[in-house]
Amino acid sequence: METNHLNNSNYKQLLQKFHKTNTGVILAIDAKNNSKTSINQKLQTHSNAHLQSGKQFRYIILPSDGQDRSITPINKKMRNRINKLTQDNKDVSLSKRLHECSTEIDEENDYFSKTRQMAERVIKLIPQKSSTLSVKEQAVPLQSELGRTWSQKNKDMNEASIDKSLKEDILQEMHQIRQDQIKICKHLGSFMRTFINLLLKSSTNECKMFILWLKHFLDERDLRYRLDKSECHFAEASFRIDHLCREMGQIYEAVFSSKTRNTKLKKLKKQLPMITARLLLLGLPFEIMDGDTANVPITWVRAVLMNLKDIIGDKKFLTISVLGIQGSDTSTLLNTMFGLQFAVNPKRCTRGVLMQLVPVDDNFPFEWVLVIYTEGVRTLELGHHENKQNNELATFVIGLGDIVVVNIKGEYTDKVNYVLQISVHAFKFTKDSMCEKQSCVFVHHNVPAIDANDKVHGRQKFVEIWDDITKKAVDKANIAEINSFNHVIEFDREKSVWYFSDLWLGHHSMCHDNPSYSENVANVKNAIMFGLSKKQTNYLTVTGTISRIENLWNRVLKNDFVFKFQS
């Protein structure tokens, strides 16, 4: 503040309000037009006038005598002043401070308070890890060993080379697993039972706030496990909202396949896809490929999307598939591009495949953008199944999209080449199987800003790499008619490759945000929405999307993904 404001009545009232909840106040004084003697007298007079209040003032002189000061000594003095004022203070929560300032707090509103209590009620029911069972095995038992075994049996049964007699044995084993799951469903634990009941009883607004509170508390719980550096331990201990939604899918598929006459279970079978479709419309991502087993619960996905159709009608979708390597900040890209809320966590990537709906205005020939997303390629957790599951994952994601965005971070490393090889196979596979027109975009970020000439060279290099990878891929498959990537999918190297710097510039604690990042992402979005989308002649409806998912997954199951790549 300027020195002439020290005696201003409005400023005095403001300072009095500050004193109500603060031990002291630090004033940064702009005294550029005052001499040192003059400013010292004014500050002494101001300080004496407030001694009776029992509060303290600390002053920091910015410019004085017409001279500016360096920011470094100002920062040092500011820290010293803060330390002196706060060294004897007890910690006071922000909400209590706001309450003392007569500020309205959302958490004290009945609506927020009620939904918070609902979430806390669910959190308290999370079982503790025992000597024999993990938290997940107790809280969401259907997706644990039983669910993993069933998923693997389902893949084994669909292998092209399987013997007919062996197939019958596998079907019997799968049936028995479902029967075991039904026994659990009949005596559903208090954790899942309470979660489902609260969702059913909540209004639309309460449901949304309840989920937000629950995500918040689960994330807080998740943070406590980050101290352990072991990835395996972290994956086991981590427990998030998607595990609850995945368990609802397991319950539905078990009940659906069992043909049970149990009235409660039959009612639950009707309610679960309705709940999930509602959550999808509220902005919660819907997992269509299980991140732990790389399995698509096709019966569950169909039921949820049919309920979605009942709610919004058989609307048209523009489907945008986004594929990223682990740690490529694909969540950040999508959150910026479409205003989504995918989790941004340096310790965890999206292992499965998620879908999320984005409404659009009437200027487009489609009503919704359907975002299909994964960042799970080449994750540490996949172990020796890495190649097979990576190929299934990439093929499934790429095959679902009208427009495919391949997100690449950094220079051309082995990991980048790996995902490019997978993508070529996936594009070729979906071209042969789906017979749909696709477009693709490559977002190459976390690279230094480059001028126009460098971009031309960079794009040329990019195309050469793609052509080389394509040729190697088709040579292995003995395909003679394909010589370049352009033969696999329509691709414009001038409009389909984007280079820009990452969101954060610098390293670790010294990094700062990149002001051009959002602008660059907006340019990519506009190129997709107002450019590539216009090349589409047909848009799949909800019904068509269900058929595409089913057909693609069935073809993925019946193909042996055993490509061996050099990394």
Of the pLDDT bands very low, low, confident and very high (cuts 50, 70, 90), residue 369 is very high
- Tens of pLDDT along 374-383? 866 664 444 4
* pTM for the full predicted model: 0.79
Listed residue (111, 112, 94, 92) closest to 103, CA to CA: 94
Task: Give the integer Cα–Cα distance in Å for 321 and 306.
Answer: 21
- Give the pLDDT confidence of 171-203 residue by residue, as tens digits: 999 999 999 999 999 999 999 999 999 999 999
The residue among 512, 495, 493, 494 whose CA lies nearest residue 503 is 512
481 three-class SS? coil
**Which neighbouring-strand residues pair with 320?**
371, 403
At 255, which amino acid appears? V
In order of 3, 22, 56, 60, 87, the CA distances from 50 in angstroms are 16, 14, 8, 17, 21
Could you report the per-residue pLDDT of 275-289, keeping only the tens digit for each?
999 999 999 999 999
Convert the pLDDT of each residue in 82-116 to its tens digit.
887 777 667 777 777 777 776 677 777 788 889 99
Question: What do you get for the CA distance between the two ends of the chain, in Å?
Answer: 60
Cβ(39)–Cβ(6) below 8 Å? no
**442 φψ region: left (φ > 0), alpha (ψ -120 to 50), beta (else):** beta
Helix axes 263-281, 298-312, angle to 10 degrees: 60
Residue 40: count of CB within 10 angstroms of its CB? 15
Residue 229 pLDDT greater than 60, yes or no: no
Please name which of 506, 303, 496 lies closest in space to residue 403, comparing C-alpha atoms.
496
Concatenate the DSSP letters of all residues of 163-224 into one string. -HHHHHHHHHHHHHHHHHHHHHHHT--HHHHHHHHHHHHS-HHHHHHHHHHHHHHHHHHHHG
Domain ranges of the chain: 23-69, 110-290+299-312, 314-559
Burial 378-390 (b: 16+ CB within 10 A, else e): bbebbeeeebbbb
CATH code given to domain 314-559: 3.40.50.300
